[in-house]
Chains A and B, each alone.
Chain A
Amino acid sequence: MRNTLVAVGMASMLLVAASSPTAAHHGAATFETGKQITLKGKVTEWIWANPHCFLKFDAMDDTGTVRNWVAETQNPVSMTARGWSRSAFKVGDEVTVTVEPAKNGAPVARILNIVLPSGQTLIAVGPGPGAATP
């Protein structure tokens, strides 16, 4: 049973990794597509809402400055299809967040993936429900 679960989990990860992202209310014009930065921080708020869910967290950048980042995902329905939930984070959780930052240098970003305190990785980009058409 456990092996089956692991296999299903890995298959899901592969499926997500192999698919292109779908956009909801806006495309990629705001963020530096292709640039990735990884931030370690503490969750200050998790907003589960339309048109995009977003996570606020305090993280230190290369210069030693701590800033409150705001990083978005897709909407609750699309994130549910990827295994996220309203209760995915709580205030104070230590998370490692990989993002595409905003072009203007503000601490605003689009989330690519998050490593939770448990070591589990949540993937933010990839297909929504029924992404593949026959």
Chain B
Amino acid sequence: MRRALFGCAGAVVLLLALPSAGLPQVWNSPGLSPAEFKSMPPGGPALRHDMSGTWDAGAAGIGGAAQEAEREAARAPFTPLGEEMMRRNKPGNGPRAARVSEINDPLSTLGDPTGFPRLVLYELRPLQIVQTPNQVLMLYMFEKRWRVIWTDGRALPTNPDPRWYGYSVGRWEDDSTLVVETIGTDDRTWLDNSGDPHSGSLRVVERYHRINQNTLELTVTIDDPQVYTKPWTARNRLPMKLMPPDTDLMEMIPSASEAQLYSRDIASQTKGQQP
């Protein structure tokens, strides 16, 4: 009897210590529902130098049709080279949206990697942030892809070989703000779903500011003097909300074979339509 009582007390202590303990385990979460996102309380104050957890920016993170106007308003004017590069891109969304049969988006038609910074400007689905003593790891639901952000004080490489996801270093600007700089990206990728291009000279600054326990704000600045006449803010304090610690995310992988299936059964049949 005494042992049983101790057992019960132990279970209660455990339940109090772990907010998610005792709840049914959930698999394949697609992200927070609109209601969950909106009603998320701020929680306590932000923890020092800690952004660990799974974060979701909701529909604003996805960057689809609803964000087209905002994206277009934020973008700096193209340079002449930028104009030329932009005209070659036939995107599915945005002011220059092409018909399905004409889209040449390397992500959706070829199965190329999304690349960086597109991964944070479009289809920013939930991501898990893991911190080690010398790295911040970003594990993205979209593509089931990851990025390594070095926080060991190293400098960015000089004249790096291009990589789909570039080279990133981060530093804590204050207790709750991590600033990440990235260079060395691959100019085959687009910046976003509107087909905005970038060159290999692109430099991206991400600013992650944890304003309280449950909210992380993301600001992204694009600086590519070859393509844009001035730096511009592609994400302006985008709020991301903290998901429960037992969240298991769905896979969302844009595979090449599925893209081919879509092209064969849908895209190819929409050719020759009247405008």
By a beta-carbon cutoff of 8 Å, the part of chain A in contact with chain B is 15, 19-30, 47, 49-52, 54, 56, 70, 72, 75-78, 80-81, 102-108, 127-134
Contact = CB atoms under 8 A, between A and B. Distances in A.
Contacts of A49: 255, 258, 261-262
A24 B105 CA distance: 12
B262 A51 contact: yes
B99 A133 contact: no
A50 B34 contact: no
Contacts of B271: 104
B158 interface: no
B262 A54 contact: yes
Contacts of A50: 252-255, 258-259
Interface in B107-162: 107-108, 123, 125, 141
Contacts of B33: 81, 129-130
Interface residues of B, number: 57
B10 to A, nearest CB: 32
User: Which of A24, A28, A78 has its CB near the most chain B CB atoms (within 10 A)?
Assistant: A24
B27 to A, nearest CB: 11
Contacts of B269: 70, 102, 106-108
Given A27-B93, A27-B97, A133-B239, A127 B38 contact: no
29 contacts: A22-B64, A23-B93, A24-B64, A25-B93, A26-B92, A26-B108, A27-B68, A29-B100, A30-B273, A49-B258, A49-B262, A50-B255, A51-B259, A54-B262, A70-B266, A76-B252, A80-B28, A81-B30, A81-B31, A102-B270, A104-B272, A106-B270, A127-B34, A129-B30, A129-B32, A130-B57, A131-B58, A133-B60, A133-B239
Contacts of A15: 34-35
Contacts of B59: 22, 127-133
B34 A19 contact: yes
Contacts of B31: 77, 81, 128-130
Interface of B: 28, 30-38, 56-62, 64-66, 68, 92-94, 97-101, 103, 105, 107-108, 123, 125, 141, 193, 239, 241, 250, 252-255, 258-259, 261-262, 265-266, 269-275
A20 B68 CA distance: 13
A104 B61 CA distance: 33
Contact of B65 (A22, A75, A129, A134): A22
A127 B58 CA distance: 10
A77 B98 contact: no
Given A23-B92, A130-B34, 9 more contacts: A25-B105, A25-B108, A26-B103, A49-B255, A56-B265, A77-B250, A104-B272, A108-B266, A130-B31
Contacts of A23: 64-65, 92-93
User: Which of A19, A47, A75, A105 has its CB near the most chain B CB atoms (within 10 A)?
Assistant: A75
A78 B259 CA distance: 17
A31 to B, nearest CB: 9
